[in-house]
Amino acid sequence: MIAFTEEMTTALNNSFADRMIVEVATASTTGMPDIAFKGSAMAWDGEHIAFWERSLGTTFHNLQENPQCCLLYRNFETRQVWKFFGTAEVHTSGDVRQQVMGRTVEAELSRDPERKGAAVVVRIDKITMGPQVLQER
């Protein structure tokens, strides 16, 4: 079972303000990896992480082809370093897209003035800290 701790939820939801920007790792169907910073990352609920995909670039295309991804949160000062592994759903229209956009930090939305971005919601299947598996479905 996956259930974010209060510490995880707070860290994720404050990652932009704390300048601990979450990184997302994706891969194309041919296996070409990519890493991108996601300042809009948030704890969507107790088992999902969401972010606003404003660039519609490599991350967007990779997740449409291969929804498996890993999100990294790290704060070395507080010794919080978590990897969240899961499966993404990309929402280019509809209620979920609107809801994620509504919770996205303004600094990220302002970089998408025409609101062309997509919402990404990742169902987390495993959380690790170093070699230790903290939670798993």
Give how many domains the chain has, as a whole number. Answer: 1
Q: What is the pLDDT of residue 114?
A: 93
Beta-bridge partners for 53:
118
Position 1 in a domain:
no
Pair 60, 88: CB distance under 8 Å: no
Position 33 in a domain:
yes
Residue 105 pLDDT class (50, 70, 90 cuts): very high
Pair 35, 68: CB distance under 8 Å: no
Query: What digits encode the pLDDT tens for the residues 15-30?
Result: 999 999 999 999 999 9
Tell me the one-letter amino acid at 21: I
State residue 110 phi and psi, 5-degree precision.
-65, -20
Position 128 in a domain:
yes
Position 63 in a domain:
yes
Name the percent of the chain lying above pLDDT 90.
Answer: 96
CATH number of the domain encompassing residue 88: 2.30.110.10
Position 40 in a domain:
yes
Calculate the average pLDDT of the chain.
Answer: 96
Q: What is the pLDDT of residue 120?
A: 98
Q: What is the pLDDT of residue 94?
A: 97
Determine the structural domain holding residue 35 and report its residue range: 6-136
Query: What digits encode the pLDDT tens for the residues 1-56?
Result: 999 999 999 999 999 999 999 999 999 999 999 999 999 999 999 999 999 999 99
Position 78 in a domain:
yes
Position 15 in a domain:
yes
Pair 49, 84: CB distance under 8 Å: yes
Residue 72 pLDDT class (50, 70, 90 cuts): very high
pTM (2 decimals)? 0.96
Q: Using CA atoms, how far apart are residues 122 and 47, in angstroms rounded to an integer?
A: 8
Tell me the one-letter amino acid at 95: D
Q: Region 85-101: what's the mean pLDDT?
A: 98
